[in-house]
Amino acid sequence: MNITVYGSGYVGLVTAACLAQMGNSVYCMDVDEARVARLRKGEVPIRERGLDEIVAQGLRSGALQFGSDVAGAVAHGVVQFVAVGTPAGADGAADLKYVLNVARGIGDHLQDYRVVVNKSTVPVGTVDTVREVIAERLAARNVTQDFDVVSNPEFLKEGSAVEDFMKPDRIIIGCESARGTALMEQLYAPFNRKNDRVLLMDPRSAELTKYAANAMLATKISVMNEFANIAERLGADIEWVRRGIGSDPRIGYHFIYPGAGYGGSCFPKDVSALAHIAERAGYPTEILRAVESVNARQKRRLVERIQAHFGDTLAGRTIALWGLAFKPGTDDMREAASRVIMEALWAAGARVQAHDPAAMEETRRIYGERDDLVLSDNPWAATEAADALVLITEWNIYRSPDLARLKQRLRSPVIFDGRNVYDPAVMAAEGFTYYAIGRPVVGDTARGR
């Protein structure tokens, strides 16, 4: 099948490369000509496991092409995936300007039947909006041409997006046309052989499903962080609580790990957008707004504990950070807890020495060169003569450090664990003062003042 994908960002590039892997002829269109030039050379601007390889394979085989020709993109694919960004506006609503630009381009050049697929995360009702925009552009050309618009939301996790696309746990197709549905089922047949993962529904339900899924996961994280903060005040250990509730099959263990708050490109944006959609429809979203509030507060929790430990001022202190990306497996720092923590430390006069296996260049891009930020080549360099270590992202490289070496390098043996990676008993035995999330503090909490 001939496929067009608009957008070579995270969702668009993964979608294009994976569809090309299955023998489709894919034209990936982007208005950024410099980005297109890089992609044609096989330079993948996104850190995602396995993506470099399948992009290279697609280029070698000719199944995957990149370009900036709108007319050619519309002519190429019988299925036209819209996978452009929908950034949050100032009020939290999703901005559809890029989606609607694509719709206008399709309407300006459409000559044969096409299925236009909204892959981007878009507000409920966007299928109708895209259909109207295309129809208006066709009318302006005095052209009558059948087309369908479908909602097919993505459920890709950063760090495992290629695997998620190739082995989906569900394929949601929101379509009201038998012809469009048949083409979508044909396209996804290679991904749907062992079990029927296709869920057919109306477009508005498909659009809401995407938001609801991310909002549900974000809610679990914020509720668990709320429990952790309660546990701290009651002298309980959230790790035992987590195991106790996770063993209930109605709850399960997924997404009930307390920490420094969620980040990334999806959860913060989608929770805010869904709340905005609901409120515009006349429904106040008390739970969703509380999820946002708890998450924002949780990102500041480690800084509050650092300030409480060291007393009145952090001026002149050096704090080591392990982990900058919002989660392991990516270099994405959008809405990352590390950004809130670093900026608060700088505001308090502290100096930061940081390491991350993937996000160092992204950190440089965001913050540039500054005297109070040292990006260290390895985890140990970041800890040299630091007053404390803060673990923010639970990369495997940080899970089993040589504690004797770590204690020797730190100016004071203090660890603030934002992901509850370490065992408090081991930390106490090794002579560390150890702060975790929702767990009793061990060691000398006055040390370093």
Which entry of 18, 28, 175, 266 is annotated as an active-site residue? 266
Residue ranges of the alpha helices (H) in 41-125? 51-61, 70-76, 97-109
**Residue in 263, 270, 278 with CA at minimum distance from that of residue 121:** 270
**Residue in 398, 381, 297, 408 with CA at minimum distance from that of residue 344:** 297
**How many other C-beta atoms can be found within 10 angstroms of the C-beta atom of residue 396?**
9
Strand order through the sheet with 433-435: 373-375, 351-355, 318-322, 388-391, 414-417, 433-435
**Residue in 134, 137, 136, 118 with CA at minimum distance from that of residue 126:** 118
C-alpha distances in angstroms, 328 versus 23, 296, 394?
Answer: 31, 20, 6
Ranges assigned E (strand) in 240-355: 318-322, 351-355
How far is residue 209's CA from residue 215's CA, in Å, rounded to a whole number?
A: 10
- List beta partners, residue 375: 354
Q: Phi-psi bin for 330: left (phi > 0), alpha (psi -120 to 50), beta? A: beta
- Mind giving me the DSSP string for 201-219? E-HHHHHHHHHHHHHHHHH
Is 266 known to be catalytic?
Answer: yes
- List beta partners, residue 22: none
Q: Which helix (H) or strand (E) holds 118?
A: strand 114-118
**DSSP classification of residue 199:** E
Which active-site residues does the annotation give?
Answer: 266
